Amino acid sequence: MLNKIVRFVLGYVDFTAEGRFPERFLNLTSRSGVNLFNTVPSSKGLSASMSLSDYFTIRKIARKSRVRLKVVGRHGMPFIVNKYSNRIGIPVGGFLGIILIMILSNFIWSVQITGIDTVSNTYIRNLLNDYGISVGAYKNNIDVKSVERNIQLNVNEIGWMSINLTGNIASVELKAKAIKPEIKDTVTPSNLKAKCDGVITKINVRRGVTAVTKGSGVTKGDLLVSGIAESSKENVDTIRYLRASGEIFADVMSEKKFSIPSSYEYCHIMDNYAVRNNLKVLWLSFPTKMSFDFYEGFARQYRTENLTINETVLPISITTQTDFETGISKAEPDMESAGRIFENQAALYEIFECGEKSVVSRDMHIMQAENGYNCVIDYVFNENIAENVDFIVTE
Amino acid sequence: MSRGRNQESYSATSIAVGAVPMIEMVGNRNIMVEGSTGILLYESENIKINTNKMVVSFSGRNLTVRCISNSCVEITGFITKVEFMT
């Protein structure tokens, strides 16, 4: 293999030696230190190969051994160089290519962010951009340690950060800050009291003395589970103070009111939109598609696509900016559509505001008022009504 | 007991100075001849190599000289016969 590489670099020729004494030609070449290879005898002489530099020295030997040399093949780098020597564009292009690679290797081509889900990539990209780390940035000017330190100090969600400039890629690895766990107080004596009125449906006490029974009604502030445990052993009364814990579930009545006006305006996206494209190469950005439509009200959307070859992100991207025209419409809902709106509002309320409460029953009343529609919903929720109330023990 | 000329054994010194050829065979496909003074015949069926004391003839099929230098010749091919002509 090494032989082949050396021969290719130095160049070699295949030739035929035809004449009366091909053996003498072989002997003379070997004695003069010329290396022949791939020698194959033929009817008129032989064919062989030799390095390009040797070929110029064997003319005398050929005359002496009365053979006629004929080159049948040329191989190797010198012939390739010679072939393209008249095309000045190729060496110039190669030289410019090398210069281009040297220049471009000093810039960041892509920024890769990994390791964190609690903070959005867009936010981190903007943050890095503020500190000079973005596509097209001159990487020799970046003080990585300083950027890491500043971002970690300024962003609470980030606990650890590492920026690695490998080649043209800035790899940013992040770790979320570990949130300090809430330490539950298990020592201070307390009672469980009702935080609202209700009818008890389920009792689950882990510690303490239960003061209510299933099916009994309680009002806000009533004692549910006592943290004072009394015991009597061998005629000796002892009192222990506990931190009561457990869940007391109760059906709780609740009322929720919604209202909508009889007519209102709302903003919505219309059919018209304008698209503008921007081609960005490193830090250079120029428009490739323009639009002269401008809207009084619009919603703007950006979408950026990078050119990727073999999973390598190149510093060439196209950003599409789309402006959707927005308009304002007036709505005058009737009773039926108002009912649908209230249904939606009630569903949103139950999902986002009611937490762990489960809905036992819902009774919706819609009324038409002067200015619009009012809705009153009578809910019955089943929820844990127990809350810890600490008490102080004095000697 | 006196030894005849045919029974004379070559010493390592005589091989080293090239007085006699040293022939190394790998099966019947490859032969290395050290102590060559030249090729006398080069055909695909027969190759004759001159040495100081004899001519060594190799017969066979598709015989080629793979490599040749001042005193060494490597032959490859299907060798069927080796002759020593003194």
Domain residue ranges in chain A = 2-82, 110-176, 190-250, 256-263+332-382, 266-331
Tell me: ipTM over 0.85.
Answer: no
pLDDT in tens, A327-373: 999 988 888 889 999 999 999 999 998 888 899 999 999 998 888 89
Residue A156 or residue A387, greater confidence = A387
Long-range contacts of A125-134 (CB under 8 A, 24+ apart): A127/A151, A127/A154, A127/A155, A128/A170, A128/A172, A133/A108, A133/A163, A133/A170, A133/A172, A134/A108
pLDDT of residue A86: 84
pLDDT for B16: 57
* Cα torsion A258, A264, A265, A271: sign: positive
Distance between A31 CA and the closest CA of chain B, angstroms: 5
| pLDDT band, residue A202 (cuts 50/70/90) | very high
Confidence at residue B3, expressed as pLDDT on a 0 to 100 scale:
47
Residue B15: the pLDDT is 62
Task: Mutate one of B45, B47, B68 to test the A interface: name it (highest A CB count within 10 A).
Answer: B68
* A17–B contact, CB cutoff 8 A: no
Cβ-Cβ contacts under 8 Å, A36 against chain B: 65, 67-68
Task: Say how many CB pairs under 8 Å bridge A and B.
Answer: 39
Mutate to test the interface with A, among B33, B37, B39 (most CBs of A within 10 A): B39
pLDDT of B69 higher than 80: yes
Q: Which of A26, A29, A31 sits opposite B42 (nearest CB)?
A: A26
Average the pLDDT over each of A77-81, A183-187, A365-369 and give the range with the smallest value: A183-187
CATH of span B14-85: 2.60.40.2000
Residue B10 has a pLDDT of 61
Least confident of A193-197, A307-311, A336-340, B54-58: A307-311
Domain A110-176 has CATH 3.10.20: yes
CATH ID of A2-82, from 3.50.70, 3.30.70, 2.60.120, 3.40.50: 3.30.70
Look at B42 and A30 and tell me if their CB atoms are within 8 Å: no
Please report, rounded to a whole number, the percentage of residues in chain A having pLDDT higher than 70. Answer: 100
For chain B, the structural domain boundaries read 14-85
Of B44, B66, B67, the CB nearest to A41: B44
Contacts of A29 in chain B (CB under 8 A): 68
User: In this complex, is the C-beta atom of A39 within 8 Å of any C-beta atom belonging to chain B?
Assistant: yes
Range A231-252 average pLDDT: 86
A33 touches chain B (CB under 8 A): yes
Alpha-carbon distance of A323 to A344, in angstroms, equals 30
Q: Is the dihedral of CA A120, A125, A127, A128 positive or negative?
A: positive
